[in-house]
């Protein structure tokens, strides 16, 4: 229905107003309630199939056959899970800071309002129906999310925030220039609306694609445009890191995907070559930096670079259905891993891998989620990512497919080595650690529930692949 897109934008704004005027102890209930409403509205879109609303010259809408609807669904689902996690994480983080005698972070009200604005801007990105509004929405996600990176108000988090702001603003500037070039390439009566673009000058379109790819690719974290990503993901609190990796990167990728979708027939291969080349470069960079990584949150950040590269490769090989499956399960698994990393950080108070020992002893439930998540994110059977990576390698051919498989194996070995050291080493005696361990254990319910949901999703994907193979239907 046509009013759903507008309500989806109003719900987070209304929630932020409630947070502004309510008491501190009611904030977590407001977040959970409004995030559930947002998710139910997104799911209702599957029943209505599409909905478009026009406000002046601005069009907002969704279509269940559009990749943007899946980006919207992923974003809403992740935000709902994270609000459930925040119910126990916020008091646990405050308690751990008190025990360690650390300065308190951002206030609950400010943090909650910024989170809701972040959800609103990502929703606007997915609902945008023309390149002008898409550009505005992606820029708005930068402004809404940057203060969240500086949650703990340390020197390193402030530096990461400014690095994120400056580099992403540079990328958005490139995307703006690309949007202007796209406008110059269009026929006289055409507009920047996705449904009515008619490219008259292919050379101008190719130039526009290059600038938009570089601009949105910087925000998306594709190598070599990824330099903001490891710092922001590691310095941000774990719930924010989960949203940055699981939702924001998808929104930026959507900008590049939109450009490819409107490419004239003669320029499509040109666009695909960009996706394939930079997707492969991202795999190479991720493999290099994950080896010998000393910070487990930065390890997860480089894993995000890897998976954005894999999704770009799938898009480049025209396996768009597989790209959406990969995007969905990467977001869920990476959220689970960042939330588990948040539990580890609460207990040990450090991101240094060498300082985290004996997770099996101190955090037995979190350690199981941590190890299972590592196996799932690396595409170990029966992970859903195993099926998508298998389809990618079959599309890539023997030489490029072999290189991709080799890089995935390197990443798997490097991540296994890091996670095993953290889980299986002998812990040192520490009275404070035992006290913090009791707090961190209370925050494990949501990551564990996500793990069970992913395993059920794995069964669904395996059944779908089996049916497709048995009926010899090629959808991917």
Q: Check pLDDT > 50 for residue 473.
A: no
Q: Where are the alpha helices (DSSP H) in 185-267?
A: 202-220, 228-235, 238-243, 249-261
**What does the DSSP assignment read for 268-282?**
HHHHHHHHHHHHHHH
Q: In this predicted structure, what is the pLDDT of residue 298?
A: 92
Q: Hey, what's the torsion of the CAs at 265, 271, 277, 282, to 10 degrees? A: -140
* pLDDT tens string 331-341: 999 998 999 89
Question: At which residue do the structure tokens 């308190």 appear?
Answer: 104
pLDDT digits (tens, 9 = 90+) for 238-262: 999 999 999 999 999 999 999 998 8
250-285 as b/e, with b when 16 or more CB fall inside 10 Å? bbbbbbbbbbbebbbeebeebbbebbbebbbbbbbb
Average pLDDT over residues 58-79: 88
Helix (H) or strand (E) holding 375: helix 364-377
State residue 435's pLDDT score: 53
Average pLDDT of the residues in 309-330: 92
Does pLDDT of 157 surpass 80?
A: yes
Q: Alpha-carbon distance 364 to 352, whole Å?
A: 19
Q: What is the mean pLDDT of residues 158-168?
A: 90
What is the percentage of the chain residues whose pLDDT exceeds 90? 39
């Amino acid at each position: 229905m046509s009013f759903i897109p507008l309500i989806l934008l109003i719900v987070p704004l209304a929630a932020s107003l409630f947070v502004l005027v309510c008491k501190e102890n009611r904030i977590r209930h407001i977040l959970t309630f409004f995030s559930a409403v947002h998710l139910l509205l997104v799911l209702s879109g599957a029943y209505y199939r599409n909905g478009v609303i026009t406000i002046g010259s601005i069009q907002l809408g969704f279509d269940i056959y559009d990749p943007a609807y899946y980006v919207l669904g992923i974003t809403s689902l992740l935000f709902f899970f994270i609000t459930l996690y925040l119910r126990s994480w916020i008091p646990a983080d405050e308690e751990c800071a008190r025990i360690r005698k650390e300065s308190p972070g951002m206030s609950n009200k400010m943090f909650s309002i910024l989170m809701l604005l972040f959800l609103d801007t990502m929703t606007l990105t997915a609902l945008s129906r023309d390149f002008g509004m898409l550009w505005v929405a992606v820029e708005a996600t930068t402004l809404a999310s940057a203060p969240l990176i500086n949650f703990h108000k340390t020197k390193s988090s402030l530096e990461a925030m400014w690095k994120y702001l400056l580099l992403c603003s540079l990328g958005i500037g490139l995307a703006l220039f690309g949007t202007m070039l796209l406008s110059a390439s269009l026929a006289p009566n055409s507009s920047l609306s996705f449904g009515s673009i008619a490219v008259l000058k292919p050379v101008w379109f190719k130039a526009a694609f290059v600038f938009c790819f570089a601009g949105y690719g910087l925000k998306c974290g594709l190598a070599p445009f990824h330099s903001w990503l490891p710092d922001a993901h590691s310095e941000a609190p774990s719930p924010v890191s989960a949203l940055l990796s699981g939702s924001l990167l998808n929104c930026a990728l959507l900008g590049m995907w939109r450009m490819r979708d409107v490419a004239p027939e003669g320029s499509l291969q040109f666009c695909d070559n960009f996706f394939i080349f930079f997707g492969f470069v991202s795999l190479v960079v991720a493999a290099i930096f994950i080896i010998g990584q000393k910070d487990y949150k930065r390890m997860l950040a480089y894993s995000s670079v890897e998976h954005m590269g894999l999704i770009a490769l799938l898009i480049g090989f025209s396996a768009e259905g597989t790209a959406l499956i990969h995007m969905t399960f990467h977001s869920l698994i990476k959220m689970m891993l960042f939330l588990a990393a948040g539990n580890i950080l609460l207990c040990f108070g450090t991101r240094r891998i060498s300082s985290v020992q004996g997770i099996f002893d101190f955090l037995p439930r979190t350690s199981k989620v941590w190890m299972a998540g590592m196996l799932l994110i690396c595409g170990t059977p029966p992970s859903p990512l195993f099926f998508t990576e298998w389809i990618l390698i079959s599309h890539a051919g023997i030489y490029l497919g072999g290189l991709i498989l080799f890089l995935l194996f390197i990443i798997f070995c490097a991540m296994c080595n890091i996670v095993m050291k953290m889980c299986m080493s002998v812990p040192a005696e520490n009275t404070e650690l035992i006290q913090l361990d009791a707090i961190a254990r209370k925050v494990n319910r949501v990551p564990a529930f996500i793990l069970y949901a992913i395993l059920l999703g794995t069964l669904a994907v395996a059944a779908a692949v089996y049916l497709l193979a048995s009926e010899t239907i090629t959808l991917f």
